[in-house]
Structure 1
Amino acid sequence: MDKEILDLLTEMNKEMKSMKSEMHSRFDTIETKLEGVGSQFELTNESSINEMDFIVDKVNKMEKELYSLKNKYNN
Structure 2
Amino acid sequence: MEKQILNLLTEMNNEMKGMKSDIHSLRSEMHNRFDTIEAKLEGVGNQFELTNESRINERDFISSKMSKMEKELYILKNKNSN
Q: Same fold (TM over 0.5)?
A: yes
Structure 2 CA distance, aligned partners of 1:16 and 1:60? 65
Q: TM-score, normalised by structure 1?
A: 0.90
1:44 aligned partner: 51
The CA deviation string for residues 16-48 of structure 1, in whole angstroms up to 9 with x for no partner, is 011101111111101111110121122112111
**Structure 1, unaligned runs of 5 or more:** none
Aligned length: 75
Displaced runs of 4+ in structure 1, greater than 4 A?
Answer: none
Indicate the percent of aligned positions where both proteins have the same amino acid: 61
2:29 aligned partner: 22
Q: TM-score, normalised by structure 2?
A: 0.83
Structure 2 CA distance, aligned partners of 1:63 and 1:32? 46
- Aligned-residue Cα RMSD (Å) equals 1.0
**Structure 2, unaligned runs of 5 or more:** 1-7
